[in-house]
Structure 1
Amino acid sequence: MSGLLANTVGVWLDGFAWPWLLLALPLPWLARRVLPARRSSAPALAVPFGDRLAGLAATVAGSGRNAGAWLAWAAWVLLCLAAARPQQVGEAVMPPQSGREMMVALDLSGSMSEPDMMLGGRRVDRLTAAKAVLSDFLDHREGDRVGLLVFGQRAYVLAPPTLDLATVRQQLGDSVVGLAGRETAIGDGIGLAVKRLVSGADDRESGEHVLILLTDGVNNAGMLEPLKAAELGSDAGVRVYTVAFGGDGAMSVFGFQLPVPAGEDEVDEATLTQIAESTGGRFFRARDTAQLAGIYAEIDRLEPIRQPGEAVRPRIERYHWPLGAALGLGLLGFVAPRRRSW
């Protein structure tokens, strides 16, 4: 019977977190053996038939004491089992493992306020369209650490690479045109992003550092030249994907789309292409929201969001089973004597 019980318990349990607490099982027996018996100091009446009375009392109360003793021992054993924290190994799971450090650098210069994009059937400015597409891109980055950097005349990190994508999305939603200045410092944005990626990369491989830079202008501010910043990124193992965002050489004046004057290129595609190619990334051109969404879908395929991690079998706590049984036996031991007296 004991072997069957042990096999049944073994099917459900796979070990104890604190097995050393099972050493407390013989403590009541040791206390009974070692400690001296309690002696009564109450006055006693000597009668010639005392032995017969003692025998009769032992016969009547013996079964009750034995039952109470067995209940107490069973409750103690169950309490020791609960204290040892029995555990059951659950089904194997393979959590997503990516290990990628990613920064999104967003241009907040004055030109991002141009209302030349269509989103949901209405005309919106470039920043609003970029936010909508970037937010959807973040929804598909589960398992990656993503940070947000904005740049205009200067560059600022709004969120370091983190798994808390809700915070990154909130910082993205709070960004407004001109927050970092009205000009465009592409080189400073790349340089700061590379520095932040390398400093927070821990032991990850260099090929897993990714920068996605979205801009609609030409570098006209900052201390660092874009190509020099790209060289720093290449040396640090950071791949840069550049996205040129904006319409076909047009600007809005009182609601009308006018051509950009000669000699004032709206987007420096040549420089953005060199930046991407020198770091092992790619250059993309997005002239509307649909093209921008397609570009981020392409980047999603180039930079896979997850890979199977090491199989893990979680341990499930089962201490509540013996604890509940011990409490039930304690309640039974409390109620049973009173029921007999009633």
Structure 2
Amino acid sequence: MFSKSSFEWLDFKWFTIEMLQSFDWQNSFWLYAIIGVPLLFVLKWLIFVKFRQKLEVAFPDTSLKSDFWTILRHIPKLFFSLFLIFILIALARPQKTSEQPPEQYTEGIDIMLVLDISESMQIEDLKPNRLESAKQVANNFIKGRLQDRIGIVVFAGDAFSLAPLTTDYELLYGYLEEIDFRMIQRGGTAIGSAIGVGTNRMRENEEVESKIMILLTDGESNAGTLDPNTAAKLAYGYGIKIYTIGVGKQGRVPYRNRFGQIQYIENSLDESGMREIAQITGGEFFRATDNKSLSSIFATIDKLERSEIKENKFTLTNDYYEIYLTWAFIFFIIWLGLKNTFLVSALED
């Protein structure tokens, strides 16, 4: 409707040029008909002059002087003209359209972060070490998601679910902060078991179309009872895509022992095994040798696996024809009232 107030139509602003120019006109062709309103009266006068009956009467020159009251008889015609003009404005359908902010909603995806917390993740070729670097990048990755359910699995010689799939990102930040090498006492790297635990968590929700697992490790599978390839096939059977990330440099790398001393040790990564896991599930393998490359990898995955964002855009259209229709009705009533008063002379020019 055109107003919140019942008397808004009384405002003089509806008559201003600025207001009329601000409208969007749905049937603008009616506005051109306004030009024809004065032409109607001219046409009526011409027809009247041509066909009226004449009675020749002689009057003295002194009696033919114009009088102010003779002008007043045109007032009813003025109100009838206004009635026609405002009817035409109403028919032109004045409107104002505003585009509302779009409503966004997402069809979220499930993401499981599977992090290696074995002893080798203390190696400092990434700063301050591999695990802390991975935690920081994972934290930034979570911040960039929108309504995706994210969970965390940690593993060393064993694997367990640290955080279930959730959209409570503040909870996830807290879990990431608490991740420590001492969480799992059993040494080794149980990649197959880690994939199995993550799959078990993700298979529960069959409604989500997109499920991904990000597996980050720096070693080769040497613990656990489940073979990594078998675990990968199981994940693929549940529609889970695995992105594998091999962290760290090959060869001699700096390692800080429990006494705080830096020593260099040999480091090896089963790159071919990691590639095979990714290939089985339709994912990709990445290699991170420093902090920058690890951040870049997570940024790439973030772009590859985005939630589908849908927007509901709509426009709000307000009609104002009722205002001008109201004024047209008022002018018509006034014209009817004046039509039978002294303002209308029975004699015509």
Q: TM-score, normalised by structure 2?
A: 0.58
Per-residue deviation, residues 264-310 of structure 1 (Å, max 9, x unmatched): x6211000000001100000000111000000011011101441255
CA contact (8 A) 2:151 2:164 kept: yes
* Cα distance in 1 for residues equivalent to 2:312 and 2:118: 44
Aligned to 1:328: none
Counterpart of 2:279 in structure 1 is 277
1:249/1:94 CA distance change after superposition, 3 Å: farther
Cα deviations by residue, 1:177-211 (Å, 9 ceiling, x for unpaired): 13123311000000111111111x24122xx0000
1:108 paired residue among 104, 117, 121: 117
- CA distance in structure 2 between the partners assigned to 1:113 and 1:248 by the alignment: 15
Listed as ranges, the gaps of 5+ residues in structure 1 are 9-89, 119-123, 314-342
- CA 1:230–1:4 in 2, change beyond 3 Å: closer, same or farther? closer
How far off its partner does 1:143 sit?
2.0
Map Cα deviations across residues 116-158 of structure 1 (whole Å, 9 max, x no partner): 223xxxxx11111111111111110122111111111111111
State the shift of 1:250 in Å: 2.1
2:264 to 258, 261, 264: 258
CA offset digits 1:68-110 (Å, max 9, x no partner) = xxxxxxxxxxxxxxxxxxxxxx946422303201100000111
Q: Give how far 1:218 is off.
A: 1.0
Taking a change above 3 Å as real, the CA distance of residues 135 and 4 of structure 1, as seen in their structure-2 partners, is closer
Change (3 A) 1:95 1:273: same
> The residue matched to 1:219 in structure 2 has which SS?
coil
Q: Decide which of 190, 194, 199 is 2:199's aligned counterpart.
A: 194
Q: In the TM superposition, what are the counterparts of 1:58-77 in structure 2 within 5 Å?
A: none
Q: Which moved more, 1:292-301 or 1:245-254?
A: 245-254
Structure 1 outlier segments of 4+, above 6 Å? none
Map of 1:80 onto structure 2: none
- Equivalent residue, structure 1, for 2:141: 137
1:14-25 equivalence runs, <5 A: none
Q: CA distance change for structure 1 residues 307 and 157 in 2, over 3 Å: closer, same or farther?
A: same
Letter paired with 1:272: M
5 Å matches for 1:312-327?
none
Distance 2:289 2:4 in 1: 73
- Pick closer, same or farther for the CA change 1:230–1:253 going to 2, 3 Å: closer
Partner residue, 2:215? 213
Partners of 1:137 and 1:197 lie apart in 2 by: 19
**Are the counterparts in 1 of residues 255 and 265 from structure 2 also a CA contact under 8 Å?**
no
1:101-180 aligned at under 5 Å gives the runs: 101-118=110-127, 124-180=128-184
Q: Cα–Cα, structure 1 residues 228 and 93, in superposed 2: closer, same or farther, change >3 Å?
A: same
Q: Number of paired residues? A: 221
CA contact (8 A) 1:145 1:161 kept: yes
Matching residue's letter, 2:168: D
Deviations 1:1-43 (A, max 9, x none): xx996697xxxxxxxxxxxxxxxxxxxxxxxxxxxxxxxxxxx
CA shift at 1:174, angstroms?
0.3
Equivalent residue runs for 1:225-244 within 5 Å = 225-244=227-246
CA contact (8 A) 2:100 2:313 kept: no
Q: Cα gap change, 1:142/1:312 in structure 2, threshold over 3 Å: closer, same or farther? A: farther
Provide the alpha-carbon RMSD of the alignment: 2.8
Change (3 A) 1:268 1:178: farther
Which secondary structure does the structure 1 equivalent of 2:280 belong to?
A: helix
Change (3 A) 1:216 1:144: same
Counterpart Cα distance in 1 of 2:314 and 2:184: 45
Task: Measure, in 1, the Cα distance between the counterparts of 2:211 and 2:247.
Answer: 23
Structure-1 separation of matches of 2:5 and 2:124: 75
TM-score w.r.t. length of structure 1: 0.59
Secondary structure at the residue paired with 1:275? helix
Which segments of 5 or more consecutive residues in structure 2 lack a partner in the other structure? 9-98, 316-349
8 A Cα contact 1:250 1:257, kept in partner: no
Equivalent of residue 267 in structure 1, options 266, 269, 277: 269
Q: Is the contact made by 2:153 and 2:159 (CA closer than 8 Å) also made in structure 1? A: yes
Residue 57 of structure 2 corresponds to which residue in structure 1? none
The one-letter code of the counterpart of 2:110 is: E
Whole-angstrom distance in 1 between the partners of 2:223 and 2:7: 75
Query: In 1, distance between residues paired with 2:163 and 2:311?
Result: 26
SS of residue matched to 1:168: helix
Larger CA Rg, structure 1 vs 2? 2
